[in-house]
Amino acid sequence: MVAGDVTAVLRVTHQMRQVAREVFLITAAIVLYFGVRGLMTTRIDTAYRNAGNVIALEQSTGIFVEPQLQESVIRHGWLAEVLGYIYIYGHWPVVLATLLWLLIRHREAYGLFRNAMLLSGAAGLVIFAAFPVAPPRFLTGYGFVDTVSERTSAYRVLQPPAFVNQYAAVPSLHFGWNLLMGIAVASLGAHWIIRLFGWLMPVLMFCAIVLTANHYIVDGVAGGVIALLGLLAAYRLGRKPRWARRLR
């Protein structure tokens, strides 16, 4: 009995150390990501010119509907407020909670999705540096309204403009990383309600990033594509757990 108790304690201690190590790694990666992004020097005129190019692209393809959609949302104050809360509290709290759940309950899957986030984040930093873009909320001339800041200062307090690159709209990893977490939850959730949450979460976040004027439709799509490419690369480079067949 004593030997068994000692073995159990050692196992728990080992697991706790692993969790602590991964928590430190993810925290360091997030700090590094935002630190590098915030320190990037951006030519503001270039960011606005690139924003104009993004809008021109959407206009040429007939998908520049963000101002009209946002106007419809603003007419319903409660809906704009709900989307703001989804944008603020549906991202990092959900991403970090999902990573912790994967780390504790699905260790092999955790490594895959962690690496997918790291790879897509690295790709995002390269694009932010090469192609800075002003977000829609800065382009009030098109009718965009920053509904997040208008209704609450919480998000700008959590990510002060002085420490965040405000001209990194493309790609939207705000959506891309939620898409990764949605795939994880939809693939591994034990109950259909949990799996349904995994399906709906990225859809709601895509709506939130666009309808709060924080991202364009194009960069939401770009963020999703880069996140999926990161997942594919992580899958190709890592071990192939049996459950990963569901991702196909």
Which tokens go with 113?
């999705």
Q: What is the pLDDT of residue 19?
A: 72
- In this structure, is residue 41 part of a structural domain? yes
* Radius of gyration from C-alpha coordinates of the chain: 20
- In this structure, is residue 242 part of a structural domain? yes
- In this structure, is residue 218 part of a structural domain? yes
Summarize pLDDT for 89-125 with one digit per residue, the tens: 899 899 999 999 999 899 889 999 999 999 999 898 8
Summarize pLDDT for 14-37 with one digit per residue, the tens: 566 777 777 777 777 667 666 665
- φ, ψ at 153 (rounded to 5°): -100, 5
Summarize pLDDT for 62-98 with one digit per residue, the tens: 999 999 999 999 998 889 889 988 998 899 899 999 9
- In this structure, is residue 98 part of a structural domain? yes
Alpha carbons 223 and 236: distance in angstroms, whole number: 20
Which tokens go with 236?
């190709």
Mean pLDDT of the chain: 84
Q: Say what the pTM is.
A: 0.85
- In this structure, is residue 39 part of a structural domain? yes
Domain of residue 183 covers 23-247
Number of structural domains found in the chain: 1
- In this structure, is residue 13 part of a structural domain? no
Tell me the percentage of the chain whose pLDDT exceeds 70: 78
- In this structure, is residue 16 part of a structural domain? no
